Amino acid sequence: MLVYYWEREYKGTKEMNKWLSPNKVFLALSETFFRLIEPHNPRQHPTRLRRMRLLSGMLVFMIPLTLIGAFATMPNRSSGENTYIYLLIGFILFVFSYLLNSIGRDKLAIWSVLLYLTILPFVAWYSKNNYSFQEFYGSFIWIFLAILLASLLLDPWSVSIFAVMNIVILLFLPKVVPDLEYIMVYDFLSSFIPLAILLVAGSALRRSDIEIIEHQNIQMSIDEVHLSHLLTSNPAVVYSALPAKGHPITFVSSNAANRLGYSSEEIMSDPDFWEMHVHADDAPGFLDGFSSLLEQGSHTQIYRFRLRDGTYRWIRDEQRLLLDSEDQPLEIAGYFSDITENVQIEEILRVKDKALNSAANAILITNTAGNITWVNSAFSDLTGYKLEEVLGANPRILRSGQHSKEFYQDLWKTITTGNIWRGELINKRKDGSLYDEEMTITPVKDQRGNI
């Protein structure tokens, strides 16, 4: 029992140490921080959302700091008399501003914080007599902080107005604060004005950069939407793969789910996914195609692929090998399309072609212009003409001269009007001999009724 309890406690300690590892603590703190700075409605303009997050992030640090400062400067401490009151007011104002910013009243929250940081030193100077030179300069940290925050949170024009407002207040300060000399204010302004100018210029440059980046991001988003629409609506599935046997997939367009039944994540999760779903009879050729791709730089494969429902579909796979700067294989870029219907049609045509070729009667097919496009073996046996000899020729090569011009005009009129012609003909073979035959000519129409 003692061993059991010790082991359980030891394992629990290990788990706790694992949970309290620096990486996990950092991740937990980071997640908490990002939750705190995220506004209630994150669907805002990118510039405004960035400003709201920045203000919330600053207030997350400033709220506890002002509260700690207020307790550290209570009257029973050696610090100033009323400092803790100003800090408590700041704590309340910062909490209020944080809540305002979270619900979308970010402009009011920004100006509340900036005005507090600006007014705080002036109120302190006004409420205390005999300010020393060091105390006067020490209080200016609040004004520096205010103008710095303004440059980060406001547009350049607002930063300029805020800086001018601070300068005007400073110039009038000696008139209302006893024992405050102009030389002290001028010394401070000699540092504050150049800093304000730099911050205004920096704000303008940063705003310009942000606008450019946002414009680029918007354009990229539009391009991504267009590309996604093209890939989704395209019958072909686009993909990229590693240059290795089996083609481990690194990217596949989302329309693969509609074509194959597998999601993009499923296809990319297993390096052997593609090879495992190729039909067993086609697998050797599929794997050998990789060698051809390396040698030629491009390759086309046709194979059967197993869908989620267990059925197989014929795939035409177009591949191209991408090389790096040293002409080494970098990636395979390709696309595939479902050609099952085409394969089935070709098979039907092949069977029909075989059946027509096996027919005992001579068969001849022409286009609407009357030129021969196909003949069967029985035709060649009967006339002596091979297929390649009569392709593109007119059936008049068989005329024997035994029929009148009106006879052929009546024949042609019958079939061009969509009717079947039946009759007896005397035709001439390739060697010039004549033969009698019973002929049936049938016009074949398409779906629109055209011959």
Q: Tens digit of pLDDT for each residue in 31-45?
A: 887 787 787 776 777
Residues 327 and 338 in one domain: yes
Q: Which of 360, 336, 365 is nearest to 349 (CA)?
A: 365
Q: Tens digit of pLDDT for each residue in 270-290?
A: 888 888 899 999 888 888 888
Residue 447 lies in a domain: no
Give the chain's largest Cα–Cα span. Answer: 136
Residues 67 and 193 in one domain: yes
Give the pLDDT of residue 305: 92
Residues 254 and 202 in one domain: no
Pairwise CA distance, residues 277 & 265, whole Å: 16
- Give the helix/strand (H/E) hosting 95: helix 83-102
Residues 338 and 375 in one domain: no
Asked whether 355 and 260 are in contact (CB, 8 A), the reply is no
Residues 80 and 148 in one domain: yes
Q: With a threshold of 0.85, does the pTM exceed it?
A: no
Give the pLDDT of residue 15: 47
Number of domains in the chain: 4
Asked whether 150 and 112 are in contact (CB, 8 A), the reply is no
Residue 228 lies in a domain: no
Final residue before a domain boundary, out of 179, 212, 245 = 212
Residues 301 and 402 in one domain: no
Pairwise CA distance, residues 292 & 272, whole Å: 20
Residues of the chain with pLDDT under 50: 1-20, 78-80
Residue type, 415: I
What is the separation, in whole angstroms, between the first and last Cα of the chain? 95
Pairwise CA distance, residues 367 & 443, whole Å: 10
Residue 351 lies in a domain: no
Containing domain of residue 410, as a range? 359-441
Residue type, 66: T
Phi, psi of 123 (to 5 degrees): -65, -40
Residues 169 and 257 in one domain: no
Name 252's bridge partners.
239
Give the pLDDT of residue 12: 45
Give the pLDDT of residue 314: 92
Map tokens 């479902």 to a residue.
Answer: 338
Map tokens 């000519």 to a residue.
Answer: 441
Give the pLDDT of residue 306: 93
Asked whether 356 and 377 are in contact (CB, 8 A), the reply is no
Pairwise CA distance, residues 270 & 246, whole Å: 11
Residues 142 and 193 in one domain: yes
Residues 250 and 269 in one domain: yes
Residue 219 lies in a domain: no
Residue 448 lies in a domain: no
Residues 57 and 196 in one domain: yes
Pairwise CA distance, residues 58 & 55, whole Å: 5
Residues 274 and 317 in one domain: yes
Residues 184 and 136 in one domain: yes
Name 316's bridge partners.
302, 337
Final residue before a domain boundary, out of 145, 179, 212 = 212
Q: Which of 316, 366, 363 is nearest to 341 (CA)?
A: 316
Altogether, the residues listed in the chain come to a count of 451
Pairwise CA distance, residues 277 & 306, whole Å: 5
Q: Which of 117, 16, 12 is nearest to 58 (CA)?
A: 117
CATH of the domain at 273: 3.30.450.20
Which residues, 6 or more positions from 51, have their beta carbon under 8 angstroms from its beta carbon?
A: 106, 110, 153
